[in-house]
Structure 1
Amino acid sequence: MFIYQETAPVAALRPWLDCVWTCRVQAGATPLAHQVLPDNCIDILCQDRQDASFAVGMMTAPINVISHGLVQTVAARFKPGAAARFFQLPLCELNDGRTDLQQLWGRDLAARLGDALWSYPLPDAQRMQILQDFLLLRLRRHPLPADCGLARRAVALIDKARGSLRVDQLAAQLGVSRQHLALQFRQQVGISPKLFARISRFRAVNSALKQLPAQADWAQVALQYGYFDQSHLIHDFQDFASASPQAWLAARR
């Protein structure tokens, strides 16, 4: 059994959060596995098992998540480029891994969050509100990082172009050097602007797959989404979904 639910954040967090979500996994004798793809986002996850609270950094490759027994999760997903508002370190240090919230926020605040979430039986909606209350507390306590607006403007331009934007073009639009953009992007977003654009483009194609015919013209799809040719589209699917586009589409029909 796998039950996932997400909802919009409270108004004060909407500039920073994409959503808050809960997940309840009940695995029987056989563990449950599901694949998570790179999505250009950072999440905070709080789980009832051993009061585990941690941040999952930017992913550059798909991962398989294995669940045993009953696991309950309440989480928040940051908008791309917004997590730097809540963590006082370069976000590239979180890439492709999970970092305990104790390390990021301190033992006291992380313990208080765990106690508030799991000490008593609560409905999911109340647990999501508790997590948001702690995020609001973090928001009030820490000032905006220097120059964070540059990275967020870059993210917006990349997303608007669905990833089909060269880094030199992006830097020129923002009026900065490629080197300065790359440094700020890695610190405030987590990965390079080029990799972020690749994942953004992959996500745009992936979201449109259900509308494609079973025998899609992949060369045409590649051109439509800004790939140089079909081989580049296949390469990105192998990197970010561990499958060819055709196999990925067939597995989801």
Structure 2
Amino acid sequence: MQYAPSASLSKYIKHYLLFNVPSNDQRKYRHFSNGHQGLVFILKNGELTLLNSRTKLPETFVLGQLSKSQEFQIKGTVSVLIVLFQPSGFYELTSIPGSKYINSFEDSRLIFGNEILKLKERLQLCSDSSIMINYLDSYFTEKAKGRQHSMTPSLENAVGIINNEKGRLSVNELCAKTGITERKIQRLFFEQIGISPKKFIGNIRLHSFLRQLRNEGDFSSLTKLSLDAGYYDQAHLIREFQKIVGIAPTEYLKTSRLAVNLFEV
């Protein structure tokens, strides 16, 4: 279930996401990029383990930008609460470059200190999601008061253009629309968002396609959906989809999903 942050925080936080893993079996999931960083709280007594390294994840961690999908195992009965930041929200609230934690699951205590564990304890005791949201809003409102960085206006304009175009443009076209050199736009994206403008554009285009696919659910129109989403043809879509998600679009729709970019394997 998605929950909106307070209006004053919407510049930094896209939404809060709360979901339960339906059983205490050991299940494997794949997570792929959506162009945002997140702060994750593992509630209840379950645990998450990265499959590629067999590393048990901390009870609360910062999920950095992903250049490749990640697979992990969930063991036990778990509730997961995710704070999904706006593209530069993590940078603005922490002053940490977005590129620092690429493909990383960093213990939140190393970034926010022990206060983040106190917040987790409060969240874990909540019996009502609205109380959870109030705790989160209060915590991040205080964080926002002490912020030292803001999203560069030229980058904010670039991100707005990409979202309005739903990722249907190239980096060269973006530079032409914004009047920013490619070198500068690369630097701004890496510093404040954590990935290249090309990857960010690709993520926005892919997730725009996923919305269309979920709404239509008609594989007979996959070629049309590909073109509408800004891909050259169906082959281009499938190639880019598999590169980010790891499976074909037709396979993706058959999966059991906890979130758009989190599905059981």
CA contact (8 A) 1:81 1:155 kept: no
Q: Is the 8 A contact 1:27 1:67 kept in 2?
A: no
Compared CA separation, residues 250 and 115, structure 1 to 2 (3 A) = closer
Are residue 248 (structure 1) and residue 252 (structure 2) matched? yes
Cα distance change, pair 251–137 in 1 and its aligned pair in 2 (3 A) = closer
In structure 1, the residue corresponding to 2:73 is in which secondary structure? Answer: strand
Report if the CA contact (8 A) 2:126-2:132 is conserved: no
Note if 1:19 corresponds to 2:23: no
Alignment-derived partner of residue 107 in structure 2 = 100
Give per-residue Cα distances to partners, 1:52-90, cap 9 Å, x unaligned. 221111223333342111222333111223322112211
Q: Residues 21, 177 of structure 1: CA spacing in aligned structure 2 closer, same or farther, 3 A cutoff?
A: same
User: Which whole-Å CA distance do the structure 1 matches of 2:77 and 2:209 have between them?
Assistant: 34
1:249 shift after superposition: 4.1
Q: What is the CA deviation profile of residues 174-213 of structure 1, one whole-angstrom value per residue up to 9, with x for unaligned ones?
A: 2221101100111111100001111111111111113142
Match of 1:6 among 2, 6, 11: 2
More RCO (CA 8 Å, sep 6+): 2
Match of 1:140 in 2: 145
Q: 1:62 aligns with which of 58, 62, 69?
A: 69
d(CA) in 2 for partners of 1:224 and 1:113?
A: 43
Partner of 2:30: 35
Q: Aligned pairs, how many?
A: 243
**1:175 and 2:182 correspond:** no
Report if the CA contact (8 A) 1:214-1:250 is conserved. Answer: no
Structure 1 residues 33 and 250, CA, compared in 2 at 3 Å: closer, same or farther? closer
Percent of pairs identical after alignment? 19
> How far 1:137 sits from its partner (Å)?
1.1
Unaligned runs of at least 5 residues, structure 2:
48-57, 257-265
CA contact (8 A) 2:238 2:248 kept: yes
The answer as to whether partners of 1:88 and 1:104 remain within 8 angstroms in 2 is no
Q: Give the secondary structure class of the aligned counterpart of 2:83.
A: strand
- CA distance, structure 1, for counterparts of residue 227 and residue 81 of structure 2: 39
**2:63–2:104 CA contact under 8 A, matched in 1:** yes
Secondary structure of the structure 2 residue equivalent to 1:187: helix
CA contact (8 A) 1:151 1:189 kept: no
Q: TM-score, normalised by structure 2?
A: 0.82
Matched, 1:126 2:150: no
**Inter-partner Cα distance in structure 1 for 2:225 and 2:135:** 43
Within the alignment, does 1:46 sit opposite 2:33 as a pair? no
User: Among residues 76, 79, 83, which one is paired with 2:86 in the alignment?
Assistant: 79
CA distance change for structure 1 residues 175 and 112 in 2, over 3 Å: closer, same or farther?
Answer: same
Instruction: Say if 2:153 is the partner of 1:149.
Output: yes
Aligned to 1:116: 122
Range with bigger deviation, 74-83 or 134-143: 74-83
- Supply the distance in 2 between the matched residues of 1:75 and 1:38 (Cα, whole angstroms): 14
Unpaired stretches in structure 1, ≥5 consecutive residues:
none
What secondary structure, in the 3-state scheme, does the structure 1 residue paired with 2:30 have?
A: strand
8 Å Cα contact 2:212/2:225 also seen in 1: no
- Pairwise CA RMSD: 2.3
Partner AA of 1:44 in structure 2: L
